[in-house]
Amino acid sequence: MKTVLITGCSSGFGLEIARYFLARDWQVVATMRTPQADVLPPSSRLRVLALDVTNPESIRQAVEAAAPIDVLVNNAGFGAASPVEFVPISTVRGLFETNTIGTIAMTQAVLPQFRQRRAGVIVNVTSSLTLKPMPLNAAYRASKAAVHAFTESLALELEPFRVRVRLVLPGSSPETRFRESARMDGLDHEAYADLVKKTFAPLRAASAAITHLQDVAEAVWRAATDPSSPMCIPAGADAEAWAAEAA
């Protein structure tokens, strides 16, 4: 029976990914900053562990407690929307510490066991925003684009060890708490009022294509279990449309 470790499982994509793998008889190590075992169905194949991807000791303890694993899903992260003029540098640092460096640190922590076994899969969940530029998301997009570049290079490094690396690119999902938890600064400034309206109105339209939680879970499952899957897997109707435009 295979084991997957998933970061950021308290809600949203991470929680749905954990449910999806549990339903398919995998051992699941669901991690979150503050463990909440009741958010997932009870199972003898489930472990819920505390993990802060910005804390090296927390990473060490979680990976040690979970080992050995077959798949790592780097999903933990948060968002921010702001004109560059007004985004606090503390927010920029936080985005990179969690979204980018957290992903790299988790990857480093599991690589020795994957390399030694000459087996394993790493799935990095980024964003369809990396496919084309969008205003008012520059810092967030940069943190995810860095993971995209990191993942592409990492895949080449790990090929000799038979370790697969994949990217899953979700679109915008109203089914998550992403918008509620995102840090927003300066969006109410009059100088950017027209741009804010022009940028976000199409995303909130009733007819807008969206990403469902299951879209992302299915994409991660494909990345983890299908050796023939592509390096980049868009997840959701909107992400797939953007990917087609970028092709």
Element (H or E) spanning 196, and its range?
helix 193-204
Catalytic hit among 140, 150, 192, 242: 140
Residue appearing with tokens 């925003």: 129
Rounded to an integer, what distance in angstroms lies between the CA atom of residue 136 and that of residue 86?
Answer: 10
Closest CA to 221 of 148, 151, 168: 168
Contact of 73 with 125, CB cutoff 8 Å: yes
Is 20 an annotated catalytic residue? no
Residue 20, domain extent? 3-246
DSSP 87: -
CB neighbour list of residue 238: distance below 8 Å, 6 or more residues apart: 128, 171, 172, 208, 209, 210, 211
Taking residues 157-173, report their average pLDDT: 97
Average pLDDT over all residues of the chain? 95
C-alpha dist (Å) from residue 72 to 68, 103, 104, 173:
11, 10, 12, 23
Rounded to an integer, what distance in angstroms lies between the CA atom of residue 84 and that of residue 144?
Answer: 16
- Could you tell me whether strands 232-235 and 3-6 are parallel, antiparallel, or unpaired per DSSP bridges? unpaired
Taking residues 15-41, report their average pLDDT: 96
Angle at 209 between CA 124 and CA 4, to 5 degrees: 25
Length of the chain, in residues: 247
pLDDT tens-place string over residues 47-66 = 999 999 999 999 999 999 99
Q: Structurally, how many domains does the chain consist of?
A: 1
Q: What is the CATH number of the domain that holds 221?
A: 3.40.50.720
pLDDT tens-place string over residues 212-234 = 999 999 999 999 999 999 999 99
* Res 98 pLDDT > 80: yes
pLDDT tens-place string over residues 101-127 = 999 999 999 999 999 999 999 999 999
